[in-house]
Every structure is written in C-alpha cells, then in structure tokens.
Amino acid sequence: MRALVRLWELIIERFHLKEFLEHPVPRYANLNPLYWIGDVAAMSFFVLAITGFALALLYMPGLSLTKTPPDPLLLGHHGKEVYDATQSYSSVYKITYLTPLGFILRQIHLWSAYMMVFAVFAHFFTKLILGSYKRRGGGALWLLGVSLGFLTISQTVLGYILPLHLEGILAIQIGLNLFRYFDYFGIPVGQLVLSALGSLFVTDQVIKMIYVLHILVVPAIMLVLLGLKINGILYGGVSPPPIRDEELRRKAMEEKEPFYPHRFALTVGQLLLQLSVILLLVAMTPLPLLEPWVPGQQVPAGVRPPWPVMWYYTYVKMIDPFISVGLPIFLVLFALVVPLLDRRGGVSIEERWIWVAVAIVYIAIIGYGTVLGFLVDIPKEITPLTRISVPPDYSVPYIGTPQAVGP
Amino acid sequence: MMLAVEVQGLSATALAYVAAAVAVIGAISVYGLLYVDRRWASYTAFLFEIVLVVLFAYTVNIVYALYSAPGFGSTIRDIELGVTYQRVAAGMLSAMLFLAALVSIGYYMELQKRGEGHE
C-alpha cells in the first residue's frame, strides 16, 4: 500500500500534476447540478470517441448491394427472409446482430449521442438563463460553446446518415436541399459544399466523405474547441452563482475546494452514473436498426429524421422555405451575439427575466417543432423535396443512383 | 443447412431476475450504509460488485459461446437470443457502475461533512 502511495506521489510530482489537481473549484459549482451538465456533454463526447473508434474498425461505407436478413427488433418484418441492402447497411447489421457484444457497442454509441445532444441543449439554456458569459472571458467560452453545440448537432446528423437506412437518407435529402437554399444569401456557400461533395446524388464518394467528416474532421475540430473551453474554465474559473446580493455572491465565490479529491470524486461518480444510465437504456429500450434503403428508392411516408433535427424538418414542411430554411441559421447567429446584447443587469434570475423569456422562446420553438413532428402524420406527397419551392436551374434536387452518360 | 442453436446454461430471463435482485439489494444496502459509515459502504459495494462481475462473466461467456456456435445467425431466433443475452449483460454492467458511482459520490458527501479542503 505504501509503495502505491509513493508511486502516486511520484506520478504527481514528475508529471507536474499538483497544480492542476489542486486548483480551487468554487463549492457552489460542486453542489449545484446546473454546473455539471456541461461535464455530461464532455464525458459523452469521450464515450462516443471510444465506442466510435471500435465501430469504425468494423464499419464499411459503400453503396454496393448485398442480401441482409430483417432486423429482429423491428416488429412486423419477421415474414421477410432477406432484404436488399447497401454495403454500409450490411456492415452495421453485422456489427449489431452478428458480432458478439457488437449490439451493446452500437447501442452505447447511439444513446451516448442522444445524451450528448440533450446535455448540450440543457447546458445552453442553463447558461443563457444564468448569464454565465457575464464575466471576463465568458464571451469567448460562450462562442466556443455555441460552435460546439452546432457541431454536435451536425455530428448527430452525419452519424445518422452512415447506416444508409431510410431515416438516414431522409436526413441527407434535407441536408442537400438546405445547401441549395444557402444561395439565397448571395454567397454560393451551398454550391461550394455540393462541389466539394462532388455530386448531388448519394454515391460511394459522398458516403465516404460523410464518413471521414463524421469520424475525423468534425471530432478533431470539436476536440480542439473542447480543449480551449476546458482551458478557459480552468484558468478563468466557473460562472458566478445566480445570487442577487453582491456580498453573498462574493462570499460564495470565495468559498473554494481543491479539485482533487473533492470535484474529482464527484466527476468520477458522475461519469459512472452517466454510463450506468446509458447501459440501463441499452438494456431496457434498445433502439432497432431501421429499414434499409436501396439506391434510387424514394423515402416512403411516415419516415422521420432523428429527433435532434425533427423540429427543423417540421418547420420546413409547415412554413415558407425561405423563412424555415434560415431559421436555424438565425437561431445560431442570435445565440452567438447574446453576450453583446446582454451587457446590463446582474446575474440573478430576477434581474434576468428578459433572457429567461428568450430561453423560453428558444425552448418553445424547438420543443413545439419536435413534438408536432412526432405527432402529426407525414403524408407521402409532402416530403422536403416536394414542399420546397422551385430550386435554381443549375441544381438537380433528385437523390438516387447516377445514370451513366454516353455509350 | 440450418442448425438449431441451443444454450446450455441459465436462461436470459433467469439471469436478468438474479442480477436485478442482486443489484437492488446491493444499491439499497450501499445507500443505507453511506449514512452510517462510508468504509463499510465501500466494502459492501465491493462484495456486490464481485457477485455482479461473476454474473457478467457468465453471461458474456454465453454470448461468446452463442456467437461462435456453428450455424449461428441462420435464423432470426438465434439473433434474438444473442441480443437478449447482451441486453442482460448491459443491465449487469449498469448495476456495477451504479454501485461504484454511489460510493464515489458518497465519498464527496463525506468530504463535505468533514469540511476538508476549504480555503
């Protein structure tokens, strides 16, 4: 035991960890769960990275068709013996149903992704209500946070496309349509993205590019931003407590505990609890692998995009596309300039009622669209392709297998 | 040729009930003991962790035996069986992590009570 203690002390000394481990953390940030939600999102990111690494070894992107048996978790498909499915879908099928412990691996990845998105939304609203950016360096952290939130949603959609099931194809259709409408702002960003993809169709190259974006490019950017954010919190401190009385607030901020062992024990406990909840969800409510898509097939009625973007899909169908397509851009841009607009007043809830109202409006927009999207049945005729008005002539809004041109 | 894959061991349902019983008794005991003495709570958690690890190893063993059986995957029933055992294994792992989380958060609560580390 003494040798272990000596080894621990040696590690702390030689790796210069003492300063980091003993940095003071305000007591209120340890006791108030509102200050842990960001940790949940960050932990989910690392869980996703680890499970994603294992999944990337087994996943094979590609559009070539193979025969695949039906999903045992999807009810009502037991009669069918085999489906035609793409190589991407077949490899996900093999991971999920024909690899020992592959089912758990994929389910942990899925539920962690959903937990991360949920934590990101909750973290955003909490920090908006608490006015966490109202301190030195808070604006920069807010900027990093909004960018990370946007990248998290993008990652969810990119990951959802990869198995090439019907829902994934719907997601890529919405994405490609979105890029067409970026040209309304006078800058051909959408066309640039489409040129980078090299095709308006779902091809092997497009899927590979989405795969690389999902496993390498976006996570790398997120890792850098997350590093900057953790660094900012480490040296800039956590956001002030929502207390109106200045004397009491100052007192709360001065009451500190060392990171190790206090916050460290709490963080370890939180990580274990989070993993426990994820595994319980895997055991109790496993998510089935959805129905496969074959190149050229139209997405049938009733297929819905993943819930983090469900609200957007609902608005694209309901409202004029000129407004609805720009809605998320407006929401993100407004979120980015919040620290510039909110310069007066204190940090207590009573003094911040306008920003509480703004947060409620955000929650209402996203929540209403999400709930409505799941409640209202989607008729076959109204898909994002048919509802959106006529696109510019130079872009072809057709998703399918490219036909060979010439002899 | 289609081969019928059979499991020679406890059924997934039986394993799930045993694991759930161990997990619930363990969680209540550890939570209760945290109010008395954290050290005894840790020892109890460790004991229940060992029981759950044994159950987990047994279940994972069945999963591997199932997936390496000749003809596995030729029927949907095989895959359903494999998924069921994997879900049970996930539940056991969840219980193990929950007990460890209780002890870890309990340690922080004890530090709070002691009032150590205030600057």
- Contact of A51 with chain B, judged by CB distance below 8 Å, is answered with no
What is the structure's pLDDT at A386? Answer: 38
What is the structure's pLDDT at A74? Answer: 61
Backbone angles phi, psi at A62, to 5 degrees: 165, 155
What is the structure's pLDDT at A366? Answer: 92
- Contact of A227 with chain B, judged by CB distance below 8 Å, is answered with no
Nearest to A234 by CA among A21, A392, A16: A21
What is the structure's pLDDT at A140? Answer: 93
- What tokens does A368 get? 């209403």
What is the structure's pLDDT at A188? Answer: 67
Q: Where does the pLDDT of residue A385 fall: very low under 50, low under 70, confident under 90, or very high at 90 and above? A: very low
Q: Where does the pLDDT of residue A200 fall: very low under 50, low under 70, confident under 90, or very high at 90 and above? A: low
Reported as half-sphere exposure (CB side, CA atoms, 13 A), residue A43 has a value of 21
Paired strand residues for A68:
A83
Taking an 8 Å cut-off on Cβ atoms, the answer to whether B76 and A283 are in contact is: no
Give B87→chain A minimum CA distance, Å.
4
Contact call for residues B90 and A104 (beta carbons, < 8 A): yes
Q: Where does the pLDDT of residue A183 fall: very low under 50, low under 70, confident under 90, or very high at 90 and above? A: low
A378-399 mean pLDDT: 41
Amino acid at A114: Y
Instruction: Kindly identify which residue of chain B lies nearest to residue A78, measuring between CA atoms.
Output: B76
| Predicted confidence (pLDDT) per residue in A208-241, tens digit | 999 999 999 999 999 999 999 999 998 888 888 8
* ipTM reported for the complex, 2 dp: 0.93
Nearest to A295 by CA among A201, A161, A385, A173: A201
What is the structure's pLDDT at A396? Answer: 42
Q: How far apart are CA A233 and CA A156, in angstroms?
A: 26
Reported as half-sphere exposure (CB side, CA atoms, 13 A), residue A62 has a value of 9
For the cut 70, the answer to whether the pLDDT of residue B88 exceeds it is yes
SS3 A71: coil
What is the helix (H) or strand (E) element at residue B115, kind and residue range? none
What is the helix (H) or strand (E) element at residue B25, kind and residue range? helix B12-34
Taking an 8 Å cut-off on Cβ atoms, the answer to whether A101 and B60 are in contact is: yes
Taking an 8 Å cut-off on Cβ atoms, the answer to whether B90 and A104 are in contact is: yes
For the cut 90, the answer to whether the pLDDT of residue A276 exceeds it is yes
- Cβ-proximal residues to A87 (8 Å cutoff; 6+ apart), any chain: A60, A61, A62, A63, A64, A65, A66
- Cβ-proximal residues to A223 (8 Å cutoff; 6+ apart), any chain: none
Give B105→chain A minimum CA distance, Å.
5
Cα three-residue angle B41-B42-B46, rounded to 5 degrees? 115
| Predicted confidence (pLDDT) per residue in A132-161, tens digit | 888 888 899 999 999 999 999 999 999 999
Give the mean pLDDT of chain A. 84
Taking an 8 Å cut-off on Cβ atoms, the answer to whether A27 and B119 are in contact is: no
Q: What is the DSSP letter of A258?
A: E
B79-96 mean pLDDT: 95
Nearest to A293 by CA among A401, A383, A393, A214: A401
Q: pTM for the whole thing? A: 0.88
For the cut 80, the answer to whether the pLDDT of residue A72 exceeds it is no
- What tokens does A149 get? 């939130």
| Predicted confidence (pLDDT) per residue in A93-140, tens digit | 999 999 999 999 999 999 999 999 999 999 999 999 888 888 888 899
What is the structure's pLDDT at A184? Answer: 58
A326-351 mean pLDDT: 85
Taking an 8 Å cut-off on Cβ atoms, the answer to whether A97 and B119 are in contact is: no
- What tokens does B14 get? 């039986």
- Cβ-proximal residues to A359 (8 Å cutoff; 6+ apart), any chain: A125, A128, A129
- Domains of chain A, first to last: 8-387 (1.20.810.10)
